[in-house]
């Protein structure tokens, strides 16, 4: 028994010694996305050296920010117009060229729309099975993730030589900016995508914090009845410095844009405080918010499933209660 225990320690030490991880940075407009800092934390937990790859049209400030992330030994920079829009078709050959030179054991990115689009493409080229949206790391080859809309926790052991992983940002504390990595040039090559061209982005403009970074989220559902009624949630959110989210029903009804959707197929959030207003709490919505520290539900239906996960519930008409909250805050 004791012998087996010590041999497993010896093995994990040996594994650790040979780990090296590439983190694919996500950024826009010269700002590093916080999910990258979470991915670096996950990378550190895998053991070994952490290298960050920053690709884009102009990445100086982002590369510097990445080099400061605690635990980052090296930042590789690939700059050029070919990376406009960070298309999977141009990022993938860059990562493959980098992998070819440095032979990383792990390739990691945040499980954002960017990471989810690019990493499986890289994995297929390496002929390995990627691991999506991990919430924990047991060892260099064993990962924890959720399945069935967060209703089951699956632990899997990967048998592939290179582990290609996306990381759920809310489960890994972002790395602090106290490090001092070196910045170098990434391998060069012709990474221009001949098949895909970036045309434009239409980003939802808001002064409120982003959903995945907000400490407080006020979220509305079908019960809001119209887009105009969301104004009172925006007012409340502004008083609290909160972000505004929505259920799929509210998005489908056209009350708010798609990128506010929280749930299995939208964003996954875990703020300090989540206030669900007029949201029944379908399985698919709970998947995106049930790891929030404190959940408040405001719903006139006492049978609504949201009350089963709520720390505090108000069984009341939101059109009376939310204005009252706005008044008293």
Q: Which of 157, 178, 185, 303 binds another protein (CB under 8 A)?
A: 157
Decide whether 66 or 251 has the Cβ nearer to another protein: 251
Greatest C-alpha distance within the chain? 67
Decide whether 6 or 204 has the Cβ nearer to another protein: 204
| Phi and psi at residue 103, to the nearest 5° | 50, 60
76 contacts 98 by C-beta, under 8 angstroms: yes
Return all residues near 35 (Cβ < 8 A) that are at least 6 apart. Answer: 26, 110, 111, 112, 115, 167, 169, 212
248 contacts 285 by C-beta, under 8 angstroms: yes
Q: Which of 51, 98, 99, 158 binds another protein (CB under 8 A)?
A: 158
Q: Which of 7, 8, 101, 151 binds another protein (CB under 8 A)?
A: 151
Decide whether 12 or 182 has the Cβ nearer to another protein: 12
CA distances from 134 to 145, 146, 327 (A): 4, 7, 41
210 contacts 265 by C-beta, under 8 angstroms: no
Q: Which of 152, 190, 207, 228 binds another protein (CB under 8 A)?
A: 152
Listed ranges 54-62, 70-78, 142-150, 178-186: which one lies at the site for another protein (CB under 8 A): 142-150
Decide whether 184 or 197 has the Cβ nearer to another protein: 197
Decide whether 97 or 117 has the Cβ nearer to another protein: 117
Closest CA to 244 of 277, 282, 222: 277
The neighbour count for residue 190, using CB atoms within 10 Å, is 9
Binding to another protein by CB under 8 A, coded x per residue (else -) over 234-273, reads: ------x-------x--xx----xxx----xx-x----xx
212 contacts 35 by C-beta, under 8 angstroms: yes
Asked whether position 302 contacts another protein by CB under 8 A, the answer is: yes
Decide whether 77 or 167 has the Cβ nearer to another protein: 167
Decide whether 76 or 310 has the Cβ nearer to another protein: 310
Residue tagged 């504390």 (tokens): 173
Q: Which of 46, 52, 83, 114 binds another protein (CB under 8 A)?
A: 114
Q: Smallest gap, in angstroms, from Cβ of residue 250 to another protein?
A: 13
Q: Smallest gap, in angstroms, from Cβ of residue 252 to another protein?
A: 8
66 contacts 199 by C-beta, under 8 angstroms: no
Binding to another protein by CB under 8 A, coded x per residue (else -) over 202-221, reads: xxx-----x-x---x-----
Angle, helix 88-102 to helix 113-125, in steps of 10 degrees = 50
Decide whether 85 or 189 has the Cβ nearer to another protein: 85
Q: Which of residues 15-44 bind another protein (CB under 8 A)?
A: 28
**DSSP per-residue letters across 235-252:** HHHHHHT-EEEE-HHHHH
Q: Which of residues 176-195 bind another protein (CB under 8 A)?
A: 193-195
Q: Which of residues 51-110 bind another protein (CB under 8 A)?
A: 85, 87-89, 92
């Amino acid at each position: 028994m004791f012998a087996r225990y010590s041999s497993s320690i010896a093995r994990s030490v040996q594994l650790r010694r040979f780990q090296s991880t590439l983190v694919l940075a996500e950024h826009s407009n010269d700002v590093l996305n916080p999910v990258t800092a979470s991915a670096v934390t996950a990378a550190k937990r895998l053991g070994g050296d952490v290298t960050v790859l920053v690709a884009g049209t102009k990445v100086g400030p982002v590369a510097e920010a990445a080099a400061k992330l605690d635990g980052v030994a090296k930042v590789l920079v690939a700059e050029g117009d070919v990376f406009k829009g960070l298309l999977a078709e141009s990022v993938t050959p860059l990562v493959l060229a980098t992998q070819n030179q440095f032979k990383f054991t792990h390739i990691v990115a945040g499980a954002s729309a960017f990471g989810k689009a690019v990493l499986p493409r890289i994995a297929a080229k390496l002929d390995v099975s990627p691991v999506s949206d991990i919430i924990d790391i047991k060892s260099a080859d064993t990962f924890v993730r959720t399945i069935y809309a967060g209703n089951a926790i699956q632990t899997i052991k990967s048998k592939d030589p290179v582990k290609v992983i996306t990381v759920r940002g809310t489960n890994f504390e972002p790395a602090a900016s106290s490090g001092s990595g070196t910045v170098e040039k990434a391998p060069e090559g012709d990474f221009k995508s001949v098949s895909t061209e970036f045309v434009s982005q239409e980003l939802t403009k808001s002064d409120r914090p982003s959903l995945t970074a907000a400490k407080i989220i006020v979220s509305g559902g079908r019960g809001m009845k119209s887009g105009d009624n969301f104004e009172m949630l925006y007012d409340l959110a502004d008083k609290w410095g909160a972000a505004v989210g929505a259920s799929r029903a509210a998005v489908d009804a056209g009350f708010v844009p798609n990128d506010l959707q929280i749930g299995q197929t939208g964003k996954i959030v875990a703020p300090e405080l989540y206030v669900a207003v007029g949201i029944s709490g379908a399985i698919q919505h709970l998947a995106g918010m049930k790891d929030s520290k404190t959940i408040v539900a405001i719903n006139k239906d006492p049978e609504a499933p949201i009350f089963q996960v709520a720390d505090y519930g108000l069984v009341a008409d939101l059109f009376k209660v939310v204005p009252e909250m706005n008044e008293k805050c």
